[in-house]
Amino acid sequence: MKKTKISPRQLMILTSGFSFGTVILFLPSSITKLAGPDAWLSILLGTAIGLLFIWIFAKLGELNPDKTFVEIIQLYLGKLAGGFVAVFLILSVLVVADQSVWYMSDFVHTAFAYTLPTLPLNVFFIAVLVFALLCGVETMYRTTEMIFYFGFSFLIILTLMLIPKMEPENLLPIMENGVTPVLKGSIPFLFNCAWPLVFLNMVYPVCFENVKEAKRALFKGYLLGALCNLIIVAVCVLVMGSSLIANLRFPMFITSEEVDLLVIFSRIEAMTFFIWVCVSFISVFSYAYAGVYGLAKLLKMKDYKILVLPMGLLLAVYSLNIYTNTSYQIKWDSTVWPLLSFTLGFILPILLLILSYIRKIMGKNSS
């Protein structure tokens, strides 16, 4: 396979986009549900805990600088068991990618009265995804770099425009019920923003010449993504109040509807929508790429691109009934997804890291 090259800067932007991409739409509500007005503290705490996992992911990559995650799994767990785990990983990743497509169409149907049925919308979205996958990971990451300017500057502009609507009392009282809600609130951050970053090990560190720089970029990107999450959650809570945010389905979207500044700056939710679709595309792409590329590596194929079109067709069909309805989605996301994320982003990397150290020690002893 041709060696693709990504600059550390691109990885940084990708990591941040990946960690706040899809989830910015509903992360504030899932955190505030648990932590109340202390949601921003939860994010700070979650970021600090998450750094440990980023370190694990980076270390895992550093120990095997020329292997992707799927290859590392097979290396340490053996061909058969490793193969099973890899298949599990690939399937989960593709399911997660498909869920994002479902979110998108669900959001569009909920927020705007679209007459278009779900399937064409999904096919449309997946067509762009397939196109991006065919263009390759380098192209996509360059695009990510460009999107980043829009996304980040928009976030700042949105925050600035919402300042008149902010009420600091909404953050008070701080830690009314002790530390427990804050701790609880950091869990959704971890399983939405920190643990999924393990899938970036599909590109890190294989695509880099300088692993050290890439590692630094990984951390920077994670912190940047956490900062974005912090800003979003804080703005949502400041503007709308935690009890309202906790019960909204798309808090970020509803909050941006509040912008009403100097007559012309009002109703900018279309911009929010635009940015959200673009940024969430970063994470959808990363999931889908991890899935397809991992599958190609597992099957020892020369090029993953031949798998893209069939996978796109499967995703398009599956995206229709991946969740039967919204309540099912909420239930799945709050019960199954944390465990799945925990397994793939917590247990698996730690297991692999321990195995790698054992192997190292054994290798030293035998020699």
Partner 1 sequence: MSYIGSIFRRLLFFEEPKKQEQFTLKSPGQAQQGSENQSNNQPGKQSNNQSGNRPDGSLGLTNAKAVTKPNKMPAEAKPISISKPQKEQKQSPKVSKQPDEISDDINVNLEYMKNRFSIPLNCDIILREFSINYKNKLIPAFIMFFDGMTDRAIINGFILKPLMVNSIMDVKESEYNLQDFILKQLLPHNQITLESTYSKAIDKINFGSCALFADGLCVSFTADVKGWEHRGVEKPNNEIVIRGPQEGFNELLRTNTAQIRKRVKDENLIVDDIAVGKVSKTPCSMLYIKNVANESLVGEVRRRLESLNVDYMLDSGILEQLIEDSTIYPSPQMISTERPDYVSEMLVLGKVVIIVSGSPNVLVVPVTAYELMHSAEDIYVRYPYANLLRAVRYFALFLALLLPGIYIAIVNYHHEMIPTDLLIAIEAAREKVPFPSIIELLLMEISFELIREAGVRVPGPIGPTLGIIGALILGQASVAANIVSPILIIIVAVAGIGSFALPNYSLAYSIRILRFGFIILGSIAGFLGITLGLFMIGVWSTSVKSFGVPFVAPYGPRTSTKSKNTFFRAPEWKLEFRPDYLDTKKKTRQDKYSMGWKPGNGNNRG
* β-strand partners of 122: none
By CB under 8 A, tell whether 224 contacts partner 1.
Answer: no
Instruction: Find the radius of gyration of the CA atoms of the chain.
Output: 20
By CB under 8 A, tell whether 125 contacts partner 1.
Answer: yes
Shortest distance, position 178 Cβ to partner 1, whole Å: 42
CA–CA separation, 93 vs 96, rounded Å? Answer: 5
Name the residue nearer to partner 1 (CB basis): 143 or 356. Answer: 143
Q: Which of 149, 265, 328, 357 lies at the binding interface for partner 1 (CB under 8 A)? A: 149
**Which range of residues in 238-246, 299-307, 350-358, 359-367 is near partner 1 by CB under 8 A?**
299-307
Name the residue nearer to partner 1 (CB basis): 5 or 331. Answer: 5
CA distances from 191 to 35, 184, 267, 334 (A): 15, 12, 32, 10
50 to 89: interface string for partner 1, x by CB under 8 A: ----------------------------------------
Give every CB contact of residue 57 below 8 A, 6+ residues apart in sequence.
197, 198, 200, 201, 204, 218, 349
By CB under 8 A, tell whether 136 contacts partner 1.
Answer: yes
Burial annotation 112-133 (CB, 10 A radius, 16+ → b, else e): eeeeeebeebbbebbeebbebb
By CB under 8 A, tell whether 120 contacts partner 1.
Answer: yes
By CB under 8 A, tell whether 143 contacts partner 1.
Answer: yes
By CB under 8 A, tell whether 314 contacts partner 1.
Answer: no
Q: Helix or strand or coil: residue 261?
A: strand
CB of 132 within 8 A of CB of 283? Answer: no
By CB under 8 A, tell whether 135 contacts partner 1.
Answer: yes
Say how far residue 124 (Cα) sits from the centre of its chain: 21
CB of 61 within 8 A of CB of 207? Answer: no
Q: How many residues bind partner 1, per CB under 8 A?
A: 42
**Which range of residues in 1-9, 27-35, 245-253, 292-300 is near partner 1 by CB under 8 A?**
1-9
By CB under 8 A, tell whether 157 contacts partner 1.
Answer: no
By CB under 8 A, tell whether 267 contacts partner 1.
Answer: yes
CB of 195 within 8 A of CB of 96? Answer: no
**Which range of residues in 43-51, 75-83, 161-169, 271-279 is near partner 1 by CB under 8 A?**
271-279
Q: Is the peptide bond before 173 cis (omega within 30 degrees of 0)?
A: yes
Site for partner 1 in 37-56 (CB under 8 A): none
Name the residue nearer to partner 1 (CB basis): 192 or 280. Answer: 280
By CB under 8 A, tell whether 339 contacts partner 1.
Answer: no
By CB under 8 A, tell whether 142 contacts partner 1.
Answer: yes
**Which range of residues in 28-36, 211-219, 263-271, 321-329 is near partner 1 by CB under 8 A?**
263-271
* β-strand partners of 266: 260
CB of 85 within 8 A of CB of 73? Answer: yes
By CB under 8 A, tell whether 108 contacts partner 1.
Answer: yes
* β-strand partners of 261: 265
* β-strand partners of 260: 266
By CB under 8 A, tell whether 269 contacts partner 1.
Answer: yes
By CB under 8 A, tell whether 265 contacts partner 1.
Answer: no
Shortest distance, position 277 Cβ to partner 1, whole Å: 5
Q: Which of 51, 213, 305, 355 lies at the binding interface for partner 1 (CB under 8 A)? A: 305
By CB under 8 A, tell whether 139 contacts partner 1.
Answer: yes
Burial class of 173 by CB neighbour count within 10 A (0 to 12, 13 to 18, 19+): exposed
CB of 197 within 8 A of CB of 345? Answer: yes
- For CA atoms 276, 278, 279, 285, the dihedral sign is positive
Burial class of 44 by CB neighbour count within 10 A (0 to 12, 13 to 18, 19+): middle
**Which range of residues in 86-94, 162-170, 226-234, 264-272 is near partner 1 by CB under 8 A?**
264-272
Residues that bind partner 1 (CB under 8 A): 2, 7, 9-10, 104, 108, 112-116, 120-121, 124-125, 128, 131-132, 134-136, 139-140, 142-143, 145-147, 149, 266-267, 269-270, 273-274, 277-278, 281, 303, 305-306, 309
